[in-house]
Amino acid sequence: MKTLLVLRHAKSGWDDPVARDFDRPLNPKGQRAAVAMGRYLHGQGLRFDHAIASPAARVKETLAQVAHGYGAAIEPVWDQKLYLASLGTLLDAIEALPDTAATVLLSGHNPGLEELVLDRVRAPGQLRDAVEEKFPTATLAELRFDIAHWRDASRAEAELVRFVRPRDLDPSLGPDA
């Protein structure tokens, strides 16, 4: 059994005058959402033994804020290929994960993360419907694969165990706040 925790970066600041999209930081609401998600991870007892992430500024900042709420450092393998990665690139990265890791945190960007969840989770249900509707910033999806080796993940169906949005944790973090 392998578990993948898929975390989209928190809301970034479009008003920030940066030269490159890669360098966009989080806005204050995004920072709060990431801390809330870290507290949620901690409160649910969700642990991971490996992490991989896009090195974009908004992902780095998201993980720093999640770590603050979680109460422990998160030290991912930063992988440039995960920046705005396609479904295929994400599956390649997952297949390359070390089999010693039972639970992995993957943090990056949409639309790739949403496509990954929808591609691996084929069984209909309320959680999958919610992913299809929207995979908001700072949202966490937990996928469980009945596999022994990560290299088999691209051919295996996953169970969507949870789909948690920031607004589920704090209504003020919702889109209408």
Task: Supply the CATH number for residue 83's domain.
Answer: 3.40.50.1240
Parent domain of 73: 2-11+21-173
Q: What is the pLDDT of residues 88-120, one digit of tens each?
A: 999 999 999 999 999 999 999 999 999 999 999
Alpha carbon 96 to chain centroid, angstroms: 17
**What does the pLDDT average to over 70-86?**
97
Give the model's pLDDT for residue 31.
Answer: 97
Q: Does 153 fall in a domain? A: yes
Give the model's pLDDT for residue 176.
Answer: 53
Alpha carbon 107 to chain centroid, angstroms: 4
d(CA 125, CA 13): 33
The DSSP letter of residue 99 is T
**What does the pLDDT average to over 137-159?**
97
Q: Does 78 fall in a domain? A: yes
Task: Please say whether the beta carbons of 9 and 60 come within 8 A.
Answer: no
In 9-139, the DSSP E strands lie at 50-53, 77-78, 103-108
* Predicted confidence band of residue 17 (pLDDT cuts 50, 70, 90): confident
d(CA 139, CA 145): 20
The total domain count for the chain is 1
Q: What is the pLDDT of residues 29-71, one digit of tens each?
A: 999 999 999 999 999 999 999 999 999 999 999 999 999 999 9
| Residues ≥6 apart with Cβ < 8 Å to 129 | none
* Predicted confidence band of residue 177 (pLDDT cuts 50, 70, 90): very low
Give the chain's largest Cα–Cα span. 46
- Averaged pLDDT of the chain: 95
Instruction: Report whether pLDDT(164) > 60.
Output: yes
Give the model's pLDDT for residue 16.
Answer: 63
Instruction: Report whether pLDDT(166) > 80.
Output: yes
Q: Does 70 fall in a domain? A: yes
**What does the pLDDT average to over 14-26?**
82
State whether residue 59 is helix, strand or coil: helix
* Predicted confidence band of residue 2 (pLDDT cuts 50, 70, 90): very high
Q: Does 16 fall in a domain? A: no
Give the model's pLDDT for residue 50.
Answer: 98
Contacts of 116-120 spanning 24+ positions with Cβ under 8 A: 116/6, 116/87, 116/90, 116/91, 117/6, 117/141, 117/143, 117/160, 119/87, 119/91, 120/145, 120/153, 120/156, 120/157, 120/158
Decide: residue 47, CB within 10 A, 0-12 exposed, 13-18 middle, 19+ buried.
Answer: middle
Q: Does 84 fall in a domain? A: yes
State whether residue 60 is helix, strand or coil: helix
Task: Please say whether the beta carbons of 29 and 11 come within 8 A.
Answer: yes
Q: Does 34 fall in a domain? A: yes
Count the Cβ atoms, other than its own, within 10 Å of residue 14: 9
